[in-house]
Amino acid sequence: MGDWTAIDTGNGAMAAYLARPAAPRAPAIVVIQEIFGVNEVMRDVADSFAADGFLAIAPDLFWRLEPRVDLTDRTQPEWDRAFALMSAFDVELGVKDIGAAIAWARAQPWCSGKVGAVGFCLGGLLAFLTATRTDADASVGYYGIGIEKRLGEADRLADPLLLHIAEADEFVPKEAQALILSALKNHPHVQLCTYPGRNHAFARAGGAHYDAADAALARERTLALFRKALA
């Protein structure tokens, strides 16, 4: 069970959920939210990384729009609010805020100095941009939306990036998936994992498209990357 802290972004204080491992010092992982904010699902993700020995930080990236957004995927009004927030969200500022979270983590006495990032949905795109624009030591994106529009940034990749792609993703059509696979399949720093039959958010526990087996497989692959890259 974690707690909330504040991170100075240089343009204001951003709240962040912080989950610490049992070890006094450990590598850190920045958990990048879905469109529902740093909700129970994202806090549980952070807690699970802490249980696996990482310092986990989930920054409140919607803070400029509405602090501490906490929505679920269970009602249409919440979906409507989530999509409205995503539409209003400034991706460029969001990546800078993630960079601030990475710098904050590295400065903590409980951090080993290595910091990774993992994102889901909107956060999957932000994880890709974190890999291309920040000094994160490793990044993982789950079913990122809009990555195909940013593939020109792949030349900047210098550290490991793992992308989990749901082959039946309703928000990432086959054409977009083909562009991503074609552009990145031979990149020396990129690992691509596809999941046949899986829809968007297949790793969101309790979600309509949750698949326990593939969620566990994706998590195993994610942990393997982080344990190697952040050691």
- Distance (Å, whole) CA 184 – CA 155: 10
Q: Domains in the chain, ordered, with CATH?
A: 3-229 (3.40.50.1820)
Among candidate residues 73, 97, 200, 214, the one labeled active-site is: 200
Q: DSSP assignment, residue 45? A: H
Over 80: is that where the pLDDT of 35 sits?
yes
Q: Which of 105, 163, 106 is closest to 129 using CA atoms?
A: 163
Mean pLDDT of all residues in 202-206? 96
Q: Does the predicted model carry a pTM greater than 0.95?
A: yes
pLDDT of 105-121, one tens digit each? 999 999 999 999 999 99
114 and 137 in contact (C-beta within 8 Å)?
Answer: yes
The pLDDT assigned to 1 comes to 73
Give just the sign of the alpha carbon dihedral 121, 135, 9, 227. Answer: positive
Q: Give the helix ranges, DSSP H, for 73-230.
A: 76-88, 91-107, 122-133, 174-184, 212-229
For 51-88, write each residue's pLDDT tens digit: 999 999 999 999 999 999 999 999 999 999 999 999 99
- Regarding predicted confidence, which is higher, 2 or 84? 84
Tell me, what's the pLDDT at 118? 99
Q: Which of 20, 24, 28, 43 lies closest to 226 in space, CA to CA? A: 28
Is pLDDT at 14 greater than 80 in this prediction? yes
Is there a catalytic annotation at residue 209?
no
Residue type, 184: L
The residue from 169, 209, 211, 214 that is catalytic is 169
Residue-averaged pLDDT of the chain:
97
Task: Find the length of the chain.
Answer: 231
135 among known catalytic residues? no
